[in-house]
Amino acid sequence: MDTPCIPKDHQLRKEAIQSINAVFYQSALTLVCDRDHMSIDVTNIESQSVELQECNLVAVLVCDRNVRAWTFLESIKGRNNVRILCKNDTTLSVREIINRVYAEGRIEIGILCHLLSNFLPQMGDGFEKTPMEHYLRSDDISNEVSGTLLSHRPASRPGDDIVIWSLLLGGDQIFFDPVEFWRSRINTWIYTGFLISSTARCKEKGLSWAPAPPYAAPRAKAGKKQGRFYRAFDGIDPALAKVEKGGIFGEWFICELGEEDPATPNTPDIANEIRNIRRSFLLTCRFGALLQPVGTSQSSWHKSQTMARYRGRMDGTLLVVVGCNKWSLAEWRGHRVYKWRWKGLYEWPRDVPLPAFKKENPICIT
């Protein structure tokens, strides 16, 4: 129980968090104490029915513990033996509930078992590993997958989401600051599709592309209607970009807007969307561009000629808006490229044709 066990003193709290993964790894079991479950009586024969086990499974899916960031970390790192505390101090094994529902219950509920991977020990699935997964321990999660899962799970204390993110990665270092977190990722790779979300970005030089917190939530503005926001997804279909000190370098599809309009002819509808983009994102930039991630072939992890689509909720095409002043150049592997800065996301309407994009490598986002 982290609340009574972790001190409030800042330094002592930091020291306690340093060992939290080891506590979860070595635990005999993880006991879920949830108010809804603790009212369920499982001591009689009727309580062992498939119907009640289906209710137990759904309750696990929607309980508070499954939608918070700290308890998600606990689920992942201490998932070898997860049990639920029920009425009269009896317990149920989550694994046994899932097995029973999967074997005998309703198929539409059994399918939901795939949403509970954080409650079950990780096992080999027989599929080809992605390039990232070759470097992970069985109880660790990749940067993109963990960031995606935390995109839906808030932490109650400001700044804790970065701590939890670094703990999920399973490394030796724990970070309390997003800039330090991303600086530690220099010389690693990141899937470009993972960056397509509404989460706030770091303001540090070279990190305009980097999510500051993983959690993506709508931002309330006084007197204004809340616009749409986009949560992250793991992004493993798109191509990889290299994280360097000065930014990320990778292949994207790009449509340069130039000083006035793109080089390709535009319809009035396209020109109107570009004007909207300029007013919303590029007032301080001389040049702008629209980006889309490059897709990959899942069977071979080779780059394809298609644009990777955002897999979250949207009505049109989600584009990255970047801007720059073209006298700012970077050099990477013998290439001199412009330094683009991440400006935000724009949902291009479905009923308006997209302007022409071309594939370019490398593109630098600082």
The identity of residue 325, as a single letter, is N
The encoded tokens of residue 209 equal 């592309």
Instruction: Give 173's contacts (C-beta < 8 A, 6+ positions apart).
Output: 166, 184
Q: What is the number of H-type helices and E-type strands within the chain?
A: 11, 12
C-alpha to C-alpha distance for 353 and 122, rounded to whole angstroms? 44
**Model-wide pTM > 0.85:** no
| pLDDT tens, residue by residue, 293-309 | 998 765 444 555 688 88
Residues composing the chain = 366
pLDDT of 275 above 70 = yes
- C-alpha 285 chain-centroid distance: 29
Average pLDDT on 271-298 reads 90
Average pLDDT on 1-27 reads 84
Which among 228, 146, 135 has a CA at the least distance from the CA of 194? 146
C-alpha to C-alpha distance for 296 and 305, rounded to whole angstroms? 8
| pLDDT tens, residue by residue, 29-61 | 889 888 888 888 888 765 678 888 888 888 888
Are residues 363 and 249 in contact, defined by beta-carbon separation less than 8 angstroms?
Answer: yes
- Beta strand residue intervals within the chain, DSSP E: 30-32, 82-85, 91-93, 189-191, 240-244, 247-258, 287-296, 303-307, 317-324, 329-332, 335-348, 358-365
